Structures are given as C-alpha cells and as structure tokens.
Amino acid sequence: MNNLGKNIAIWLIIGLVLMTVFNQFTKRQDTVGQVPYSQFMANVEADRVASVEIEGNMLRGQWLRGKLNDGSAFSTYAPFDFRLVDTLIKHNVKFSAKAEEEQGFLTQLFISWFPMLLLIGVWVFFMRQMQGGGKGGAFSFGKSRARMLDESNNSVTFADVAGCDEAKEEVAEIVDYLRDPTKYQSLGGRMPRGILMVGSPGTGKTLLAKAIAGEAKVPFFSISGSDFVEMFVGVGAARVRDMFENAKKNAPCIIFIDEIDAVGRQRGAGMGGGNDEREQTLNQMLVEMDGFEGNSGVIVIAATNRPDVLDPALLRPGRFDRQVVVSLPDIRGREQILGVHMRKVPISNDVEPNVLARGTPGFSGADLANLVNEAALFAARRNKRLVDMEDFESAKDKIMMGAERRTMVMSEEEKKNTAYHESGHAVVAKLLPKSDPVHKVTIIPRGRALGVTMQLPEEDRYAYDRQYLLNRIAILFGGRIAEEVFMDQMTTGASNDFERATQMARDMVTRYGMSDKLGPMVYGENEGEVFLGRSVTTHKSVSESTMQQVDAEIRRIIDEQYALARNLLETNRDKVEAMTKALLDWETIDMDQINDIMDGRDPRPPKTPPSKPASPSGDRPSGDAPAATTTPATEA
C-alpha cells in the first residue's frame, strides 16, 4: 500500500507539471496572428476590419474579407488611445468590450511561483528517496535487509521436517527455552548465543530454521550471508549493526543467517588486502554476538556446508555455542522424507516408500523431493491419474543415470562396442565378492554417457574397506578389457573409468594408508589457503624419492586389478557374450535378468518391450564422451 501511494503521488506531480506547461502554452497562443497597433489603425481607416473585441489592452478582431484579406482573425496590443472608439464608429466596425478579469495578489503570486515551487518539491522528494526515505534508497545501504517472519507468513513446523531426528532434538531445546526460560534459568542455565547448522547441500538446514521460527512463535529475522557485503566500503558492518539493533528491539527473537561462509571465512587469507570489507563485516558480527555489550534475548542460527573455512573466533563458545550436524538421512530417514513429500502427490497403492528408500542410498532431502516431483511429471506425461511405482523407477533412473537420449544416432558397430563395455563392468562386478549388487545395465545413452552400469549397495555405507576399493578399481577396468578381448580395439569411452580408478588408487596410497610398502602415512599434504578454496596453493612436504615410491605403488595396485579383471572376463566369455546379446536385443536389463545370465539360464524377457532402435546412419558422438560409466550411489 505504501508503494502504491508513492506511485500515485509521483504520477500526480507529473500530471501537474504537464498541466502547467500546457497552460503556459495556451496563454502564448494569443501571439498567433498578432499585428502592430499602427497597422491595425491603418486597416481600420482603410475599411478592412470587420469586427473587434476589446478586453483591457488586448484587441482581438477579424479582417474584412476582400482582395487583400481572407477574413482571418488577428490580435494586437493597444496602448491607451481615447480616439479608438470614435475611429471604430466612424468606419462602421462592429466592436464589443468586456472588463479585464482582475486577479488577486495571492493568485498572481501562485501562478508566477507555482512552477518553481513544484520543481523544488520534486527535488526534495527525490533527495529524501536517495537518503533512505524510501526502501532501497541510494543512501540506505547501511540498513539491514533481514526479512522478518511471523506466524502469518511462515507455516513450516517440525512436522514438515523428517530424516534428521537428532538435529531436530537439538534445536527443539531452543524453542522450549524461548517458550519457558524460567525452567532453565532456575538451574543456572543460560540461553545459547548461537547455533551453527552444518551439513551437505540439500539436507534441510534452511527448512529446519523455518521450522524453528514456526514453532517458537517469536520474531524471526532471515538474511543471507551475501546480503551484507556490497560494493561500498563499510556497508557490511553497518548492516550487521542495524540488524542486531532491530533484533534487540524485538527480543526475544531469532536471527537466521544462511550461507554464513560468505562473510565468516577465516581472516587474513586474502591476497593484496582486497578483502578488508568482508573482514570488517566479520569483526562487527563477532562483536555483536559476544562483545562488550551483551545481546540478551537474541539467538543467532547460521547454516553452512563449509565449516572448515570459518574463522575460529566465530566458532568459539559464547558465539556459536552449539554445532548441529544435519547429515544425509539413513534408510529410515529417507522413508520418512518420502512420506512427507508424497502427501502432496496422489500416490497409487503399489508405491512402497521403504523399497524406494532402500534403492536411494546417499540421497539428500532435496534429492528425494526432486525424485517425487520427477515421478509426478512422468505420470502426467503418461496421462495417469495416480503416480505408481513405474513412474518412481523411471524418475530414479533419470536422476541416478541421467535422462535418456533415444534420439542419439549410433552405428551398429558402436552400439555393439558399448554393449561389450557395459557387460564387462557388470560381469566383473557380479564375480567379485565384496562389490555392490548390479542393479541395472543399459546401452541407451543417458546424460553424457553412451551406456551405464548402475550398482546399488544393499545398505548405507559410512566407511570403505581395502578389498571393497580394490574391487571398485577392477570393476572400472572391466569395460576397457571387454573391448580389448571381444572387439580387439580400444576406444576413448573408458577415459572416465581410468580417471576414477587412478584417483581411487592414489587415495588408497596417499590418504588412507592402505599400502603395505608405504604404511599408514599421509603423502602430498595439501595446505592450501582457506580463502582460495584450499586447492590453489599446495605445499608438498614429500621428497622426490618418496613420490617415486608412491607412483610405483599406485602402478602396482592398478596393474594387479587390471590383471584380475582380465582373468575374470577371459574365463567367463560365455556370460559376457550372453549379456551383450541381451543388451543388443533389449537395450536395458535389470537385476533379475543379470542373475539369470550369471546362473547360466536364458534371461527372462523384459516387462515392457524395448523402444524401436535408432537408425544406424548419422553422425558419431563426440570422442570425449565416456562410453560407459559405472555410477554407484556413493563414491569413495
């Protein structure tokens, strides 16, 4: 309503200015057709004037139509002439007279000064806007941009948050304190100054903060860390001061700062002094949270997924007293999250959330919300009234393996090579004892890959043993080895497999201490600068001879697993051939068909017939696209 009133006032001022200009223009219209008074008298005496209207000193008339005149109108300014009337009567000129309207002193003053006063008023209005009289004025940069939430515009409660029971218990204590502080104060307890919520992206940190606001029923100020710092020096510190001043006026209240790592990075990590503004903002925040003046009644809740880059002074007790870890949900948490999101979608009776939760390890809350949304989109695309299990399986495949690219044209030779490649991954994965079960194999191009072998762990994994990592390396080499053994060729499609296998072997030697020769020691320690992302500047604390031993040990691991995978594929040629034939016939095979092939049985036909294969003619895909990627739900 305030913005509407301001807009109406501005348009009224513009209208008044236009009216004033128009009035000035109409007054000057009398000068059109004006003639000198001497010419007018000469025309009267020559009988060329038809009529005259006398209004004060202004004469308006009409020429007599004739050879020299066309009967047009004219005007002239007449001085005091007592002979005028006699001359008009003598020459038979029709004339009339009316008294000149006399304007009062105030009217004349208003008319003469109104344009100037209007310009002054417009200038004052815009200056007030620039100085902060309006929202977002040029001089209002120091004002806090925190948005205040109350019960009317925030309906999120703890019932809408699932999958993070431990984190919910931690923050529920804050809500209980705000509702009944005497229960804690009687035992000498004080309200925590701040809570830092840490977790991977999409785990629900911001949603949990909204739930705190909805449950506590106290004023809740929400702001992002990037809203503090702008191009003008001193803006960030001024906004921090203004935000805490507003919060103290509404205490008890909660301030929520999302992505606090934007202003809370470790000080002194910049280059060339270009980050003084950010450091001033951080210093002001440190003082406001726990400085000389207390801020009793104000609780600061912050969220970040980069706690390693935060300044130590920000993390000490008295500022952020408590760190709440919002981790990825386990299988029970995923089932609860799916239940929350499925409330808004018409679900068929065959949908089993526990099965979906078991098949989505490593998914965050945001991933599961996206899964439900994609399943609803698939159901709408198929003109269904309910979302069934088939839609959820299609959505899961799209998220985990990428969208299908059925219009991509592949030659028969390239499709056969991709089928052998994926069969190599799948057969090695089925023959190794500690590998994850193979869930699905497809040679339909998905995302950036020409084919995908998807493995899903039977349960959530939080740590990986040595044998599991060695098996992962062997499985990654299975695709290239199948190309060599069965197609007698090498393609660029295995480049991504080699990158991941090499990195995994390097981590086993340099980070995990899984090498008998080099022992439990970290090699190639990375001590990068915090502000530069810890990866730009790397200080190597290892000698050249030791690095040679590291490279030799990585080579040994890779060679051993390569030889293991090659031996498995050469001794199980029949299984690779059978799986390749099934892939060429059906394009996609699932776990049951894979088990039939590995047990020596004919694979059962798929439930849905495969789509019509693309024509073998057309352009080949780019060589840098991987022909196969083994996509586990959680990588080491």
Instruction: Give the Cα separation of 544 and 428 in Å (integer).
Output: 36
Instruction: Give the Cα separation of 4 and 219 in Å (integer).
Output: 27
Share of the chain above pLDDT 90, in %: 1
Residue 25 is predicted with a pLDDT of: 52
Statement to judge: residues 593 and 507 lie in one domain:
yes
Residue 609 is predicted with a pLDDT of: 46
Annotated ligand binding at 203? The verdict is yes
Residue 101: pLDDT band with limits 50, 70, 90 = low
Tens of pLDDT along 183-208? 877 887 777 788 888 888 888 888 88
Q: Is residue 321 part of a domain?
A: yes
Q: Is residue 64 part of a domain?
A: no
Residue 294 is predicted with a pLDDT of: 60
Annotated ligand binding at 205? The verdict is yes
Nearest by Cα to 632 from 446, 489, 460, 487: 460
Q: At what angle do helices 591-598 and 573-586 cross, to 10 degrees?
A: 150
DSSP label of 265: B
Residue 341 is predicted with a pLDDT of: 87
Q: Is residue 119 part of a domain?
A: no
Residue 583 is predicted with a pLDDT of: 84
Residue 580 is predicted with a pLDDT of: 86
Statement to judge: residues 365 and 468 lie in one domain:
no
Tally Cβ neighbours within 10 Å of residue 246.
18
Q: Write the CATH number for 614.
A: 1.20.58.760
Q: Write the CATH number for 352.
A: 1.10.8.60
Q: Is residue 28 part of a domain?
A: no
Statement to judge: residues 454 and 380 lie in one domain:
no
Instruction: Give the Cα separation of 408 and 114 in Å (integer).
Output: 73
Statement to judge: residues 500 and 357 lie in one domain:
no
Annotated ligand binding at 421? The verdict is yes
Statement to judge: residues 372 and 492 lie in one domain:
no
Residue 610: pLDDT band with limits 50, 70, 90 = very low
Q: Report the 3 state secondary structure along 175-189.
A: HHHHHCCHHHHCCCC
* 253: β partners: 298
Residue 100: pLDDT band with limits 50, 70, 90 = low
The residue out of 401, 420, 441 marking a domain boundary is 401
Statement to judge: residues 341 and 321 lie in one domain:
no
Q: What is the mean pLDDT of residues 620-624?
A: 34
Total domains, the chain: 3
Annotated ligand binding at 402? The verdict is no
One of 279, 422, 483, 587 is an active-site residue; which one?
Answer: 422
Q: Is residue 131 part of a domain?
A: no
Q: Write the CATH number for 243.
A: 3.40.50.300
Residue 111 is predicted with a pLDDT of: 65
Annotated ligand binding at 616? The verdict is no
Mean pLDDT of the chain: 75
Active site residue 414: no
Statement to judge: residues 497 and 420 lie in one domain:
yes
What amino acid occupies position 609?
P
Statement to judge: residues 444 and 537 lie in one domain:
yes
Annotated ligand binding at 91? The verdict is no
The residue out of 374, 401, 428 marking a domain boundary is 401
Instruction: Give the Cα separation of 117 and 297 in Å (integer).
Output: 49
Q: Is residue 573 part of a domain?
A: yes
Statement to judge: residues 617 and 536 lie in one domain:
yes
Supply φ then ψ for residue 265, to 5 degrees.
-65, 160
Statement to judge: residues 481 and 618 lie in one domain:
yes
Instruction: State yes or no: pLDDT of 293 exceeds 70.
Output: no
Statement to judge: residues 247 and 368 lie in one domain:
no
Range of the domain at 207: 147-325
Residue 1 is predicted with a pLDDT of: 55
Residue 525 is predicted with a pLDDT of: 58
Annotated ligand binding at 87? The verdict is no
C-alpha distances (whole Å) from 213 to each of 247, 288, 534 are: 14, 21, 35
Residue 544: pLDDT band with limits 50, 70, 90 = confident
Annotated ligand binding at 425? The verdict is yes
The residue out of 325, 345, 363 marking a domain boundary is 325
Q: Is residue 59 part of a domain?
A: no
Q: Is the pTM of this model over 0.85?
A: no
Statement to judge: residues 353 and 241 lie in one domain:
no
Q: Is residue 74 part of a domain?
A: no
* 49: β partners: 63
